[in-house]
Structure 1
Amino acid sequence: MKSATALLLILCLSGALVQAEMASQSDISAELGALRASVEELRLMENRLAASESNVQAQENTVKELRAELDVTKTELLHYKEQAEKMEKKLDGSKVAFSVALTEAVGPFRVETTIIYPNIITNIGNAYNAHTGFFTAPISGVYFFRFNVMDSWKDSAMGAALYKNNQRVLLNNAWNHWEDNEHVSNGVVLELSQGDVVHMRLPAWYSVTDFGEHHFNIFSGFLLFPM
């Protein structure tokens, strides 16, 4: 009887151990499943984090590119502004035109002499100096000049020469055979650099004549276009 009871007890204990072991294995399986789920979730989170970091890097690169483009644009705008200011100054300096006249007889002299036209009819840009007789180019460009001279002395040489700096460009003259008004005139297009000087000279022993406001002797010029 005792043996049967002991056997029964052993069988019960064995069943309980088996059940406990099965329960433990079930718990372990559940824990492993939960762990696998957590690992998968972590992997997904790592992937999302990597994707986010990649997007952030791409955005940072885009910001750098935009900043570089902005710097280039600022540089270009500054260049255009400087060019516009230079063009504005050039346009302001392009308003150049003058006409001046004699008011009395000049010459003859023993040496070639600069003709100073004291009567300023027009002097836009103030490039002509009535004290020296010189026109000074305010900007580089192509200019047109014209002059007319007159003399009324019989048996005398008359005329004038146009000079660029110290170089004679042209000379117009005539001999007055009669006691009458003798005229000569001419015109020329000159390319001038800023600061170049143009003026008229009376050759030695030549003379020109004017009376008050008749303006027989005129010296004129104006800028055709800047360069």
Structure 2
Amino acid sequence: MCINEKITLLESKAGPTNLSQNKPTHQISFMATASRDIKPIVGGTLIFDQVLTNKGGAYNRNTGIFTAPVSGSYFFVVTVSIPTPSPANGQDYVRIDIMKNGKLSGYLFIGTQGIWIKRSENTLLELSKGDKVNLHVRTTGSGFQRIAGGSYHSHFSGFLIN
């Protein structure tokens, strides 16, 4: 068997090699930021109201909830900034939980210790169509004032991997 026959045989066994055929059929992605500072309520959902992109329409800017339109692997990132507190504010910290259908899937804890802090957390979740992901404010310190908004200080984003 000559080399050309071997190549042809291997190509027929391997199937199509056009990478464009492997593109996902659904393009789901979103990024939302806070247009202004947020005073989060313990036990409430952290809502980012300024939607920069929302392919597939899965993020609801009014509720702060992402609802998976298709089953698959999704990657989420939350970034939160807390401005420098005044010394009179006391304990200045916040914990934000990443929730999948009401169950903890990851969290972000920020304690400022008197300085401006910006932190991020990410998670990879297997979602079924209709599953919901949101950010839940678990706790804040007695002196906690606000999450910084505007200028992309704080944001929530995610996308479908496959």
TM-score scaled by structure 1?
0.54
1:123 to 2:54 alignment: yes
Name the counterpart of 1:219: 156
Q: Deviations over 1:71-129 (max 9, x none)?
A: xxxxxxxxxxxxxxxxxxx82xx1100000012222353x3210111000110010000
SS of aligned partner of 2:133: strand
Note if contact 1:107-1:205 (Cα within 8 Å) is conserved in structure 2: no
Instruction: Name the aligned partner's letter for residue 107 of structure 1.
Output: K
* Residue 140 of structure 1, CA deviation: 0.6
User: 2:98·2:104 contact (CA, 8 Å) conserved in 1?
Assistant: yes
Look up the match of 1:165. 101
Aligned identity (percent) is 30
**Stretches of structure 2 lacking an aligned partner (at least 5 in a row):** 1-23, 86-90
CA contact under 8 A between 1:149 and 1:159: conserved in structure 2? no
Residue of structure 1 aligned with 2:33, choices 95, 101, 114: 101
Higher strand share: 2
Which ranges in structure 1 are unaligned for 5 or more consecutive residues?
Answer: 1-89
Quick check: which one's helix share is greater?
1
Contact 2:40 2:147 in 1 (8 A): no
In the alignment, structure 1 residue 194 sits paired with structure 2 residue 129: yes
1: distance between equivalents of 2:99 and 2:128? 14
Return the structure number with greater relative CO, CA threshold 8 A, min gap 6.
2
Task: Provide the aligned C-alpha RMSD in A.
Answer: 1.7
Deviations 1:38-60 (A, max 9, x none): xxxxxxxxxxxxxxxxxxxxxxx
Q: CA deviation at 1:211?
A: 3.9
User: What is the total number of aligned residue pairs between the two structures?
Assistant: 131
**CA distance in 2 between partners of 1:103 and 1:153 (Å):** 19
For 1:121 and 1:204, locate their aligned partners in 2 and report how far apart those are by CA, in whole Å. Answer: 28
